[in-house]
Amino acid sequence: MERFELDILGCGSATPTTLHNPSSQVLNIRDKLFMIDCGEGTQLQFRKSKLRFGRLNRIFISHLHGDHCFGLIGLISTLALLGRTGDLYIHSTTGLEEILRPELNFFCRDNPFQVKIETFDPKVNEIIYEDRSVTVKTIPLKHRIPCAGFLFCEKQKDANLRADMIEFYNVPIKERARIKQGADFVAEDGKLIPNKMLTRPAEPARSYAYCSDTAYSEEIVPIIEGVDLLYHEATFANIDKGRAHETGHSTACEAAGIAKMAKVKKLMLGHFSARYPDNKVLLDEAREIFANTVLANEGLSEKL
């Protein structure tokens, strides 16, 4: 099975701690690296995770709070030092161009590649990127400023041909692509050979949803329903629920409630407040509602 793997580079919230770095993660889909958010120090975490800078495909910024984008200029500068020549695309809400372009003009004016910023509407659930392997959709979130999560859906691969049956029925090479895509086959004697006799199903396509930062919102449930892995912010424990609502964030219990309603396969909590020296309190609260829950942590690599 080809790669569909999540690497956590940072899962803390805005206040710096010695436990966690600011938000950033990388999703490896068939050896293309998609970065999601880019907090301060992301380039160092990228190196620690032994990821290949040359594989970085695109960057998706959920919103323009500093702990989700302060690392961009450092990362871009490092990419230039390492000899990148291909253009770098960043997907973001409106405003990043005005923030980042002056820094690029000052610090990176001699870069051998262009930084191209593509904006999206965080209020709309729509496809903002697509290639042969994946589609990426926005997930409208509720925060203090415009903010969106991202839904990565692997494209279903064609069925696998059964070599023994292909040989037995002497299927011509020119017919095999159609059969992989679901067509039946008519043998030389006119007999119809059903597709299911000639193929085996491919591995199911995988999906990943990233939801940070957001207040509790049941509106996202239909969008993320059934995903293999949901990363949902859990900034606060239940005792601080009032603070969560004041700041446009979620508790671990609320994240677990969303996971349960959406029938996701696995929940990962992240974006932890600096007030908790041990995030196990968040894990314990979430598991009371949704058992298959884990904590994000720097260096964690989750295979889907």
What sign does the CA torsion over 118, 123, 125, 126 have? negative
Helix %, strand %, coil % of the chain (to 5)? 30, 30, 45
Question: Rounded to an integer, what distance in angstroms lies between the CA atom of residue 257 and that of residue 260?
Answer: 5
Three-class SS of residue 212? coil
Say if CB 228 and CB 267 are below 8 A apart: no
State which H helix or E strand residue 239 sits in.
none
Question: Rounded to an integer, what distance in angstroms lies between the CA atom of residue 101 and that of residue 117?
Answer: 10
Question: Rounded to an integer, what distance in angstroms lies between the CA atom of residue 191 and that of residue 216?
Answer: 58
- The DSSP secondary structure of 50-119, one letter per residue, reads T--GGGEEEEE-----GGGTTTHHHHHHHHHHTT--S-EEEEESTTHHHHHHHHHHHHSTT-SS-EEEEE
- The question of whether 284 is a catalytic residue gets the answer no
Residues 6+ apart with CB under 8 A from 277: 19
Three-class SS of residue 200? strand
The residue from 67, 87, 121, 213 that is catalytic is: 67
Question: Rounded to an integer, what distance in angstroms lies between the CA atom of residue 158 and that of residue 137?
Answer: 22
Buried b / exposed e over 61-82, threshold 16 CB at 10 Å, is bbbbbebbbebbbbbbbbbbee
User: What are phi and psi for residue 36, nearest 5 degrees?
Assistant: -120, 115
Catalytic residue ranges: 67
